[in-house]
Amino acid sequence: MLLRAGLRRCTASTLDLVRRKPFKSALVVTTVKTVAADLIVQLAVQKQEWDPRRTALFGAFGLIYQGAAQYVVVNIVIERTVNALFPGQTTRAVVAKCAVMNGLADPLLFLPTFYIFKETIHRAHMPDLSTVRRPLQQRVIPATRHPNPNPNLSCPQVSGALAKYRQNCLLDIRNSWMVWIPGHTVTYGMMPPAFRLPWMSFLSFGYVGLLSVTRGTMDAPPTQVGLTRRLSNAVAVCEEPRGLTQRARTFVKRDTEQMAG
């Protein structure tokens, strides 16, 4: 009896906190849920050594996108736009909101953002290529022939992430729809606004586990020594007594571009 009463008080206090502070509650719930789901996949399902980069990926994504950005999308943007056309929890309103979430928000916002987070964290652990590229470019590629006239405007994290998403989008969207088409039917057909993010986080625990299995693995970053040796060997192999041939120029130029992004 005491245990049951304690559980009831704890549940009532938690629900009251969610009602009073829905945004902060959403941040805490989504971050803890996302990290926990990935850790279970890493350590219990895949039985791998702990990868802190992967934990950082899911923690940052859970806090910034699933907690903050998705709260705005679900409870503000969709409510104010779709509700203006289809108010309440009628069948038409539920279908319209599910169509917006599954047809627009998830394939155009959720999944691309995840890939950008992943690519950014992966590149943050890449070695500094400036000590490798600059000597080789001075030796092989004239500055006037730089492939990008204004390299400061490039964004390799975004372009690389979106390229990978284009390769995997059909499978990723299929997996998302398997979970979220029925899930969002409950979200918009039954849940009050304050409880939508906690409910989505509960359902998302399984989906994040699936995402961790299919897209969570982080490639090991190459070492500075390995890149330096690779590019130096490329120059040495292609070098001739009278100077570098056009083949060597093209090879090293392509290799440095690939290493940079």
Given this model, what pLDDT does residue 15 score? 63
210: in domain: yes
Number of domains in the chain: 1
pLDDT confidence of residue 45: 92
Say if 49 falls within a structural domain: yes
- Alpha carbon dihedral 101, 102, 103, 105, in 10-degree steps, equals 40
The model's pLDDT over 125-183, given as tens digits with 9 standing for 90+, comes to 654 444 444 554 554 444 444 454 444 445 888 998 999 999 999 999 999 999 999 99
146 located within any domain: no
Residue 234 CB partners (closer than 8 Å, separation 6+):
248, 251, 252, 255
Digit-coded pLDDT (tens) for 186-236: 988 888 877 776 787 788 899 999 999 999 888 766 554 455 555 555 555
33 occurs within a structural domain: yes
Query: Does this model's pTM top 0.85?
Result: no
Residue 243: beta bridge partners?
A: 240
pLDDT at residue 57 tops 60: yes
Domain interval for residue 50 = 21-126+155-220
36 lies in a domain? yes
